[in-house]
């Protein structure tokens, strides 16, 4: 039996900076992401920069707008997770140096083998969106139209018993326009810790 689950996010908190790159340039470098589709070309090498504006409170765990596969953690929670789990953590930076509390983000571990049967993915995406996806004319990456667990994703084909790391990302990219994301799975114990700490943000979903 697999002990990986999905963390389903009920809301987003905070806006990455600069807005004209959806926050991608500080995370991947100016030339480290495709300016046509928003898919990164390398492993994350810099900090997510968040803006402290409005009444947003950065407590517990949350996912910002635009970067939907970036899980942010307030400092005490990040420290505990860093001690107990096999995750790569990277500090979150704050635009203008004005912080809403120190925080880190989880950098998911990308797996190489496909998570889904691509014929099933194609059929499901076409049924929901009319088209399966498209290849970016600039970087050549294929993105499937947006799907999620319980929202059109076919059964997982990945052998979960075999996975290293506690937060893993699919090799498949999804999205439309500048929206680009991967599917994430989180080790159950870690997902429960995050959802218990931020019940208004996250809930645990069984996936298999
Ligand atoms: Zn592209």
Write out the chain in H/E/C secondary structure: CCCEEEEEECCCCCEECCHHHCCHHHHHCCCCECCCCCCECCCCCCCCEEECCCCCCCCCEECCCCCCCCEEEEHHHHHHHHHHCCCEEEECEEHHHCCCCCEEEEECEECCCCCCCHHHHHHHHHHHHCCCEEECCCCCCEEECCCECCEECCCCCCCHHHCCCCEEECCCEECCCCCCECCEEEEHHHHHHHHHHCCCCEEEECCC
Q: Rounded to the nearest whole angstrom, what is the distance from the C-alpha of residue 178 to the centroid of ligand 1?
A: 9
The pLDDT value recorded for residue 207 is: 85
Q: Rounded to the nearest whole angstrom, what is the distance from the C-alpha of residue 35 to the centroid of ligand 1?
A: 7
* pLDDT tens-place string over residues 58-108: 899 999 999 999 999 999 999 999 999 999 999 999 998 766 568 999 999
Q: Rounded to the nearest whole angstrom, what is the distance from the C-alpha of residue 137 to the centroid of ligand 1?
A: 7
pLDDT at residue 54 tops 80 = no
Q: Rounded to the nearest whole angstrom, what is the distance from the C-alpha of residue 142 to the centroid of ligand 1?
A: 8
* pLDDT tens-place string over residues 142-194: 999 999 998 899 999 999 988 999 999 999 999 998 889 999 999 999 999 99
pLDDT at residue 197 tops 80 = yes
Q: Rounded to the nearest whole angstrom, what is the distance from the C-alpha of residue 53 to the centroid of ligand 1?
A: 30
* pLDDT tens-place string over residues 71-82: 999 999 999 999
Q: Rounded to the nearest whole angstrom, what is the distance from the C-alpha of residue 139 to the centroid of ligand 1?
A: 4
Q: Rounded to the nearest whole angstrom, what is the distance from the C-alpha of residue 38 to the centroid of ligand 1?
A: 6
Residue 48: CA count within 13 A, CB half-sphere: 28
Q: Rounded to the nearest whole angstrom, what is the distance from the C-alpha of residue 145 to the centroid of ligand 1?
A: 14
Q: Rounded to the nearest whole angstrom, what is the distance from the C-alpha of residue 138 to the centroid of ligand 1?
A: 5
pLDDT at residue 127 tops 90 = yes
């Amino acid at each position: 039996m697999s002990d990986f689950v999905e963390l389903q996010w009920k809301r987003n908190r905070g806006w990455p900076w600069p807005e004209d790159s959806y926050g991608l340039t500080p995370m991947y470098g100016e030339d480290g992401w495709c300016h046509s589709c928003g898919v990164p070309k390398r492993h994350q090498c810099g900090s997510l920069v968040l803006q402290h504006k409005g009444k947003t409170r950065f407590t517990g765990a949350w996912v910002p707008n635009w970067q939907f596969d970036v899980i942010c953690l307030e400092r005490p929670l990040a420290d505990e997770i860093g001690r107990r789990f096999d995750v790569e953590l990277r500090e979150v930076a704050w635009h203008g140096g004005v912080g809403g509390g120190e925080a880190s983000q989880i950098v998911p571990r990308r797996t190489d083998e496909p998570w889904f049967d691509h014929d099933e993915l194609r059929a499901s995406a076409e049924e929901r969106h009319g088209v399966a996806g498209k290849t970016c004319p600039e970087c050549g990456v294929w993105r499937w139209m947006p799907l999620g667990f319980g929202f059109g994703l076919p059964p997982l084909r990945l052998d979960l018993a075999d996975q290293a790391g506690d937060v893993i990302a699919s090799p498949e990219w999804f999205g439309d326009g500048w929206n680009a994301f991967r599917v994430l799975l989180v080790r159950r114990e870690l997902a429960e810790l995050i959802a218990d700490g931020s019940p208004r943000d996250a809930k645990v979903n069984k996936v298999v």
